[in-house]
Structure 1
Amino acid sequence: MALNANDRSIATFTMAAHALVHWFETSIPIFLVVWLAEFDVSVALVGFVVALGYAPFGIGALPGGILADRYGPKRLILCCLLGMSLSFVALAGASVVDSIYAIAIGLVLWGATASVYHPAGLALISTGVDDRGTVFAWHGIAGNVGIALGPFVAATLLIVLEWHVVAALLAVPGLVATLYGLRATFDPVAAVADDVDAGPDDALSLPELVSSTRTLFASAFAIIFVIVAFEGLYYRGMLTYLPEILDGLGAIQGIEIAPALERYDIDPAFYIYVGLLVVGMGGQYVAGKLVDRVAPARGLAASFAILTALALAFVPVTGMGLVPIVALCGVFGFFLFAIQPFYQNAVAVYTGADSRGLSYGYTYLGEFGIGAASIAVGGFVLGISQTWFFATIAAFSILGAVLSSALLFGLDRLYTGESAAAGQATDD
């Protein structure tokens, strides 16, 4: 079924914004290496500065969701696009004062403005789009495009240009997208017009926020929040340490690369990792098309079961040859991103339209905020052994599978007296 005009307009707007959020996000580690040499400071200091940028990216999701409900998601996304772009312009300007602390200010501004996107963008899709599954799929694919292109474009431009010029050039697509967004027209509540009582400009006082949060977590959303947190722990832990694990494998270290690539210290493991992200686009698309046919809990339970098996499969496969490793990474990339449309749709199914921004704010606080804890946990366990690392990651997905299965068999009835997802999606 073809998207209607309103769906297409929202899809184009959110896809551009989602791609750019990750375009900026994944280019930052490329600059980290340059800043180490440019400012002659310790790795610890630069790492702390970069962490200052990433911290608000997760923490700000909840305030972003609240603001989306209050002011409307389009305004928030436009502020996000403009803010991220100006933040990178500020990074470029940091070269003038020649201070790593000016870099820190630019990164904090980026993290704060980027944090509002996911709750605002997903709230807009969930309330404005009729063919929600398809748009969730294309939205996820756009994010993967940004994840893959950000570091590639930054690294390529740094070969021939100074870092501050590259930072300024990376801001250009964001400014263009902002101008496009100002002209974009759509109905942000077309899919739920009959269910929305409060307009986007209605203020949400602190008592109302507390009341809305209490109501939200007294519903089946509390289960979804924990499920998403386990998915975030799995996702962040695997994507953070998999490049390092791949780089240390004998099968990959034995790959001969062209002298031109060796000159720029191009790592073959990096290409396998990026290839994994590209394959993830297929997972996003297929799962998105299944969202309207498969109950959210069923899709989540099946996805977690597969992710558990894949995490455990890395233990024997990393000792095999190059072909099994690449094949496993491809399958892993597909299913790692295939789970996302299911939990995004689960939030829409198990929450009311009036609090959708708040719901997605909490969702991405769990995904990016709680999920970041696996960076510390994963690093500690990986220091013991790779086997224990993959076992720990698999434990996160096992817990997610258990909760999803409980939801599938009616755990939500504890909150509603009946299954909240009944009739929303079936396997028929």
Structure 2
Amino acid sequence: MRVLKAFIESNDFSNRSQSDETPLEFRKEHRLNKEEKRIIGLTTASHSLVHLFEGVLPPLIPMLMTEFYTDYFHLGLVVTVFSYAFGIGSLPSGYLADQIGPRRLITLYLFGAGVLAIGVWPIGSLMSYGVLMGGIGFFCSTYHPASNTLISLSIKEKGKAFGIHGIAGSLGVASVPLLSAWIGTVLGWRAPHVLYGFIGILTGFYSLTIPRRTAIKEIADKNLGTKKSPSISYLNLVIFFLSAMALGLTYKGIMTFLPAYMGESIHIGGLKVGKVALGGTVATIALMSGALGQYFAGRGVDRIQAERLYLGAILIGTVFVFLMAISRNWILVLSAVMYAFFYFSTQPIQNYLLSTYLPRHRHGLGYGIHFFVTFGIGSTAAAVSGYLADHFGLHVVFHAMGICFLFSAAMATTLLVRVNRKPG
């Protein structure tokens, strides 16, 4: 709370729309220059990979239960350990991105997570596995604040760039159930970790070719006009972060048990595939639509008020989460497709909103807080969902996540009303 208050006291926060704050030169159709392309290349590859590291465990849950003689709750705890580290590390990472430059943090994430992922190969206990996953989560925590800061400071067309970046993340989220399930089925549950680790190290070497500090050339403030917009309130920031936190809970709860839920609930006559492979494959098919959601939201945020677009995506996504809880077979698959489309569409909108709410020299810290509430606090949903799954069934997880969606929608509605409220 004090950190957010310090933002307001020391900086001029604006609720200007993009059309108000962005110079004409920035709003023209812009072709990425060589440096921007390299940055997009690094961030898209790294974003897909961070979600491979994050999502490697859930598709392997049936195999891990047999390997370690454990249950949903304890594997949910391992996911929670990863996710707490993933979220809590975002706070110092956001600050460091402002101080030493975001590219260095991306390099640290790639090498650190890569080495630890390879270290999964010799481990033989659930405790050791949990410790390593926590370490991987900590290195991964540096990524989101760093990459979003790098994009916001280095790319002229931020809406489009955040959309492309989001698509890469969605492809990682969507592909990891399929990749991990099939690789694990063929080569053993350790193999996906090791493969992703080697990819991380190779990408880390590529990151060293990107300059440590990059920034777009600023246009003088006189080109922006002299009229100042009213500052955004401390309460609006709190409301935004509460909405993001609730969506973070739904993300972790749903993504942890979606492959297992699909494996149990999808029955296609004549298809003889194990639950692990079937659940991972169907989850991947459903989640691919998230990339489309990222794309359309990234484009739409340049044309529609961001707060309005944000609320609409949450409201529609809520409907499909509840449908997932009560459906099976093809209706479940269709509901999951629509859920993924609208959930992932919220991410570039959130990133864009923060880039307009915060001054440039506080982007890293702002994104750090954002990803702390999303992934850190949101990670509690993994263990809670594991408890619900063990005692009441996997479908109850989706009912609970639907309630979190409703809370996020309430916060987004409040934010939209406050932003559009006429002064006086």
Q: TM-score, normalised by structure 2?
A: 0.78
Q: Deviations over 1:80-109 (max 9, x none)?
A: 1111111123223x35xx566554443232
- 2:338 matched residue in structure 1: 331
Choose which of 276, 288, 294 in structure 1 pairs with 2:304. 294
Contact 2:154 2:216 in 1 (8 A): yes
Instruction: Give percent identity, aligned residues only.
Output: 28
After alignment, is 381-390 or 165-174 more displaced?
381-390
Measured at CA, do residues 308 and 285 of structure 1 come closer, stay the same or move farther in structure 2, by a change above 3 Å?
A: same
- 1:425 matched residue in structure 2: none
Measured at CA, do residues 189 and 288 of structure 1 come closer, stay the same or move farther in structure 2, by a change above 3 Å?
A: same
> How many Å apart are 1:135 and its aligned residue?
1.4
Contact 1:128 1:192 in 2 (8 A): no
Consecutive unaligned residues in structure 2, runs of 5 or more = 1-28, 222-230
Choose which of 47, 50, 53 in structure 2 pairs with 1:21. 50
Measured at CA, do residues 88 and 385 of structure 1 come closer, stay the same or move farther in structure 2, by a change above 3 Å?
A: closer
The residue type equivalent to 2:413 in the other structure is: S
Choose which of 225, 234, 240 in structure 2 pairs with 1:218. 234
Q: Deviations over 1:338-383 (max 9, x none)?
A: 1111111111111111111110111011111222233355456665
Distance (Å, rounded) in 1 between the aligned partners of 2:351 and 2:116: 28
- 2:401 matched residue in structure 1: 393
Distance (Å, rounded) in 2 between the aligned partners of 1:105 and 1:229: 25
Written as runs of structure 1 = structure 2, the 5 A alignment for 1:242-261 is 242-249=258-265, 252-258=266-272, 261=273
Choose which of 136, 161, 173 in structure 1 pairs with 2:199. 173
Consecutive unaligned residues in structure 1, runs of 5 or more = 196-214, 419-428
- 1:55 matched residue in structure 2: 84
Distance (Å, rounded) in 2 between the aligned partners of 1:52 and 1:154: 20
Choose which of 402, 408, 412 in structure 2 pairs with 1:404. 412
Choose which of 83, 102, 107 in structure 1 pairs with 2:133. 107
Q: Deviations over 1:251-295 (max 9, x none)?
A: x2353324xx44xx5453432211121111111111111111122
The residue type equivalent to 1:410 in the other structure is: R
Distance (Å, rounded) in 2 between the aligned partners of 1:292 and 1:186: 29
Written as runs of structure 1 = structure 2, the 5 A alignment for 1:17-416 is 17-29=46-58, 42-43=70-71, 48=77, 51-92=80-121, 94-95=122-123, 102-159=128-185, 161=187, 167-185=193-211, 188-190=214-216, 218=234, 220-249=236-265, 252-258=266-272, 261-262=273-274, 265-314=275-324, 318=327, 322-378=329-385, 383-384=391-392, 390-411=398-419
Larger RCO of the pair (alpha carbons < 8 Å, separation 6+): 2
- 2:22 matched residue in structure 1: none
Distance (Å, rounded) in 2 between the aligned partners of 1:412 and 1:186: 39
Distance (Å, rounded) in 1 between the aligned partners of 2:318 and 2:127: 42
Q: TM-score, normalised by structure 1?
A: 0.78
Measured at CA, do residues 290 and 28 of structure 1 come closer, stay the same or move farther in structure 2, by a change above 3 Å?
A: same
